[in-house]
Chains A and B, each alone.
Chain A
């Protein structure tokens, strides 16, 4: 590998790290967006994420902001928060292990009365990590709506 290749690889790695952290300058973002999708990004991102998290379990796939599917030393594949909290088997909805709060849709804190849903129709169901309290999902749903199971990755390969 030549020096300039090394430099451009480093620059790209750095761009992707900044993208993940939400601090990538927009001109560099456009470069990434225009790039041909070759499928190898997943490996780069896994390496960056593995480096970012404060624990050492192997990441199999980033599930969403703050959540990962990891493989533990004992072979179990579980959903794990950035903070280290584990939500259990990845084949089950992590929401079943979260903290839940139903917010009035016009509580004057998040939504003013003329900007929020009618509480007869919908409320806001917020899901938090029980350890770090990160808000992991907000479902605008009526009473009685089952938790949405957003993503079941196909890891059996």
Chain B
């Protein structure tokens, strides 16, 4: 007897309807309840399989961002595309591969393309799934007795996509067509063999194909290892058991998510705002990322981003799959780190992201390269969660904003005459946020990949031949506070002789993009320094010490004073790529963490440590922290307790003197708002947001007590 096989599309619709109608993914956890040991052992075996495959794939890949930075993740999915289990790694993509599998199912790939074991589907279209064209996934279905039983997917971040600017993440893009090769769910392998013509396509379509092609092989190998192991396990436990536990793992996580929220977070409404913006020709505007987090007493967690600016022809925005990915990445690291990572968490959370906004564009021809307020939304959400932990007493979980990771791009012809194009992922070791109990770690953190590493400069130099004259801990980069944010990396690159190089960078507009928490200052603004026509060649020939540091507490970095050149500085670090002559210098920073608490409450011993380590100076100690640092004849650093007490008292008196009562402040500011006396970048944002979000517009008018229907002047 045979039954007509149900299509995947029908199964997906049924699964989604069931969840919508019942609010649960699987009604009974019978395996978990009747045989908890098997339940846990099977999950551990799946997790181990995925994590082992990741390790193998890491060593196959030739791309530094995968191999050195660990920018790779694998996942196991149900036939309908729900994530059951994920390896460690790039946590942003917990849900983005689910999105792509469901997209194929919904778009009739089963009937129009057919799914067979040994097929691999490639996707880097971030409206379907993934983050930007750099985020590239490879998905393969597996079958038991002719029935598609699940999917395996691997994702890496590739550093060159054939975009208008080398290195994929250019800050000048005004259309999606600037982003390079975008391939929506294409079959690129059958019978576990990659198609030759796909390699040709990539080879001719990008500046340097090594990272893309090597990563494809790494992902295919990882997927293959996982497929065989999962089928082995499936053979042991039987198909019914396998299907049942997969559903139970997701449901179990969904329930555990509510429970974790209920036990960890104080119920209430939390609001935080992060900042980004656009700096491209003819479009300069601020963008806020307003996060409202509501924790219910029952453990429901709702997130709303009502008030996001509109999507525009600019790259500082993101697709919805990416924004979901960013948020869940943050939530998993901050709250759900001890649960199973899968789509159960996604099902447990309510998320509102207005359609047509910069984190959910209504037009797939817009660029979504650099994420802008989506990255900010994750920072804001983490601060909101920190407040909820604080109120519940879990101070060990409280922290300020993580760094905006930022870095440089380059392309051209290297010393061997080979074309290259890449972005430098040393920013995976940015400065960590300050917590409620300690300073943020220096050069040790990025929100998107907790296992990230900066990679050897020498390995980077093989891929992008800029020569590192300096790679140092940035001084006074982390936000000041009772506990300071971690400092990021400062790198000073020299363009060597005998190559052709275009170089640029990406970051933010000239703003503070990483906020502090509860009285702490934001992290320092990012910046690029570019030196053209330098005398570095003469310095090398003369054998004098080369510039190698920013120095501390300087309005202009030390290396700028040490090198005669035509210097320019771009605050915020958005610099479209352009050609630089040999011996030009290019200095970037990787982002620093936000500060925590009032700086006047910082323990003097922590300040002394920073001064001793050359990370901060005596002037900052006095002006920001009110600590009077002393040095004895032998150079030992200490502080004068009495002078410090009196300086701190003086700082407090000055605050009371210069501070204006809020009511008075508001009265004066209201006049400015009424008159439209607001600088252009913010004025453009207010006008835009008030037009697309009546809710936000009402709040704005209420706060400033403005007449009904008030509009900010053009």
Chain B residue with minimal CB distance to A65?
B518
- B476 contacts A by Cβ under 8 Å: yes
List A contacts of B679 (CB < 8 A): 120-121, 142-143
Task: Please name all residues of chain A whose beta carbon is closer than 8 Å to the beta carbon of B662 when the two chains form the complex.
Answer: 95-100, 127, 147
9-residue interface stretch from A1-9, A50-58, A70-78, A110-118? A110-118
A136 to B437, CA, bound (A): 17
- Asked if B659 and A138 make an inter-chain contact with CB atoms under 8 angstroms apart, the answer reads no
Answer whether A115 and B476 are a contact pair too, CB < 8 Å, given A42-B393, A146-B704: yes
Shortest CB-to-CB span from A152 to chain B, Å, is: 4
Residues on A with beta carbons closer than 8 Å to the beta carbon of B624: 109-110
B672: chain A residues at CB < 8 Å are: 143-144
Residues of B within 8 A of A126 (CB): 655, 659
By a CB distance below 8 angstroms, the chain B residues around A138 are: 515-516, 519-522
Interfacial chain B residues near A19, Cβ < 8 Å: 395-396, 436-437
Q: How far is the CB of A22 from chain B (nearest CB, A)?
A: 5
B45 within 8 A of A: no
Chain B 642-663 per-residue mask, 1 if CB under 8 angstroms from chain A, else 0? 0000000001110110111111
User: Contact: A100 with B660, CB < 8 Å?
Assistant: yes
CA distance A129 to B557 in the complex (A): 36
Tell me, rounded to whole Å, the shortest Cβ–Cβ distance linking B56 to chain A: 30
Chain A interface size, under 10 / 10 to 19 / 20 to 34 / 35 or more: 35 or more
Contact assessment for B512 and A140 in the assembled complex, using a CB-CB cutoff below 8 Å: yes
B533 adjacent to chain A (CB < 8 Å): no
- Report the Cα distance A146→B572, complex, angstroms: 24
In the complex, A133 Cα to B652 Cα: how many Å? 5
The interface residues of chain A lying within 8 Å CB-to-CB of B264 are 37, 39
Asked whether A96 lies within 8 Å of B438 as measured between CB atoms, the reply is: no
The interface stretch among B2-10, B318-326, B595-603 is: B595-603
Contact A130/B522 with A147-B703, A151-B387 known, Cβ cut-off 8 Å: no
| Assembly CA distance A63 to B438 (angstroms) | 20
Option from A16, A110, A121, A133 in Cβ contact (under 8 Å) with B682: A121
Given contacts A117-B511, A140-B512, contact A62 B659 (CB under 8 A): no
Contact A148 B524 (CB under 8 A): no
CB distance from A31 to the nearest CB of B (A): 10
Q: A42 to B390: give the CA distance in the assembly, Å.
A: 9
Which residues from chain B contact A38 at a C-beta distance below 8 Å? 263
Contacts of A153 in B (CB 8 A): 266-268, 391
The answer to whether B553 has its CB under 8 Å from any CB of chain A is yes
Within B388-412, the residues touching A (CB, 8 Å) are 390-397
Q: Give the residues from 76 to 109 in chain A that come closer than 8 angstroms, CB to CB, to chain B.
A: 95-101, 105, 108-109
- Which residues in A have their C-beta under 8 angstroms from that of B311? none
Which residues on B sit within 8 Å (CB–CB) of A27?
A: none
Of the listed stretches B90-98, B191-199, B269-277, B448-456, name the one at the interface; the rest are far from the partner chain. B269-277
Residue pair A136, B598 in contact (C-beta under 8 Å): yes
Q: Tell me, yes or no, whether B499 is within 8 Å of chain A by CB.
A: no
Main SS class of interface, B: mixed
- One digit per residue, 1 when the CB lies within 8 angstroms of any chain B CB and 0 when it does not, for chain A 18-44 equals 011010101001001100011101111
Tell me the bound Cα distance from A46 to B391 in angstroms: 9
Q: B353 at the A/B interface (Cβ < 8 Å)?
A: no
Interface 1/0 per residue, B510-554 and A, CB below 8 Å:
111001101111101101010000000000000000000000011
**Contact for B437 among A29, A99, A132, CB less than 8 A:** A29
For the complex, give the distance between the alpha carbons of A149 and B482 in Å.
Answer: 22
Q: Are A109 and B623 in contact (CB under 8 A)?
A: yes
Q: 1/0 per position for B663-705, CB-CB distance to A under 8 A?
A: 1011001001100011111100110000000000001100110
Separation of A126 and B515 alpha carbons in the complex (Å): 13
- Given A118-B571, A140-B511, A151-B387, CB of A111 within 8 Å of CB of B656: no
B682→A148 contact, CB < 8 A: no
Q: Which A residues are CB-close (under 8 A) to B666? A: 96
Residues of A within 8 A of B273 (CB): 139, 141, 145, 148
User: Are the C-beta atoms of A62 and B512 separated by less than 8 Å?
Assistant: no
The reply to whether the CB of B509 lies closer than 8 angstroms to some CB of chain A is yes
* B373 interfacial contact with A, CB 8 Å: no
Determine which residue in B262, B275, B572, B623 has the highest number of CB atoms from chain A within 10 A of its CB, and name it: B275
Q: Using Cβ atoms and an 8 Å threshold, which residues of chain B touch A96?
A: 662-663, 666
Contact of A157 among B297, B529, B554 (CB under 8 A): B297
B286 sits at the interface (CB 8 A): yes
- B359-402 vs A, Cβ < 8 Å mask (1 yes, 0 no): 00000000000000000000000000001001111111100000
Q: Is the CB of B658 within 8 A of A101?
A: yes
Which among B396, B598, B603, B685 is the interface contact of A142 at CB below 8 angstroms? Answer: B685
Closest A residue to B597 by beta carbon equals A65
A64 at the interface (CB under 8 A from B): yes
Among A128, A133, A151, point to the contact of B269 (Cβ < 8 A).
A151
State in angstroms the CA–CA spacing of A1 and B268 once bound together: 35
- Which residues of chain A are within 8 angstroms of B555 by Cβ–Cβ distance? 108, 112-114
Is A115's CB under 8 angstroms from B600's CB?
no
B586 interface residue, CB < 8 Å from A?
no
Do B266 and A124 have beta carbons less than 8 Å apart? no
A122/B512 contact (C-beta < 8 A), A135-B599, A147-B703, A151-B269 known = yes
Looking across the interface, which residue of chain A has its beta carbon closest to that of B598?
Answer: A135
Given contacts A65-B519, A65-B598, A121-B511, contact A44 B393 (CB under 8 A): yes
The answer to whether B420 has its CB under 8 Å from any CB of chain A is no
With both beta carbons as reference points, the residue of chain A lying nearest to B483 in the complex is identified as A22
B residues in contact with A140, CB < 8 Å: 275, 511-512, 515, 522
User: Do A41 and B394 form a contact, CB below 8 Å, given A136-B598, A147-B703?
Assistant: yes
A154 contacts B297, C-beta separation under 8 Å: yes
A35: min CB distance to chain B, Å: 9
CB proximity to A under 8 Å, residues B627-643: none
- Say yes or no for B556: interface residue by CB 8 A criterion: yes
A6 CB, nearest partner CB in chain B, Å: 21
Instruction: Give A141 to B511 CA distance when docked, in angstroms.
Output: 9
Distance from A15 Cβ to chain B, minimum over Cβ atoms (Å): 10
**B506 in contact (CB, < 8 A):** no
Take A111-B524, A121-B277 as given contacts and tell me if A136 and B260 are in contact as well, using a CB distance cutoff of 8 Å: no
> Which residues of A lie under 8 Å from residue B572 when comparing CB positions?
118
Say which residue of B272, B396, B669 sits within 8 Å of A150 (CB atoms).
Answer: B272
Contact pattern, B 262-299, Cβ under 8 Å of A = 1, otherwise 0: 11101111111101010000000010100000011100
Q: Is the CB of A116 within 8 A of B524?
A: yes
Closest chain B residue, CB of each to CB of A115: B524
Q: Is the CB of B297 within 8 A of A143?
A: no
Please report the C-alpha to C-alpha distance between residue A61 and residue B393 in the assembled complex, in whole angstroms: 9
**By the criterion CB–CB under 8 Å, are A144 and B682 in contact?**
yes
- Cβ-defined partner of B286 (8 Å) among A16, A29, A142: A142
Q: How far is the CA of A33 from the CA of B389 in the complex (A)?
A: 12
B445 within 8 A of A: no
Closest B residue to A133 by CB, please name it.
Answer: B652
> Does B141 lie at the interface of the complex (its beta carbon under 8 Å from any beta carbon of A)?
no
Say yes or no: A142 contacts B519, CB within 8 Å: no
B477 interfacial by beta-carbon distance below 8 Å: yes
Known contacts A62-B390, A142-B678; A115 and B598 CB within 8 A of each other: no
Q: What are 6 A-B pairs with beta-carbon distances under 8 A? A: A33-B397, A117-B571, A118-B511, A151-B391, A152-B269, A154-B269
18 A-B pairs besides A117-B512, A121-B510, A128-B655 with CB distance below 8 A are A39-B392, A65-B436, A65-B598, A99-B655, A99-B661, A100-B659, A110-B480, A111-B525, A112-B555, A114-B529, A115-B525, A118-B571, A121-B509, A126-B655, A135-B600, A138-B516, A138-B522, A143-B672
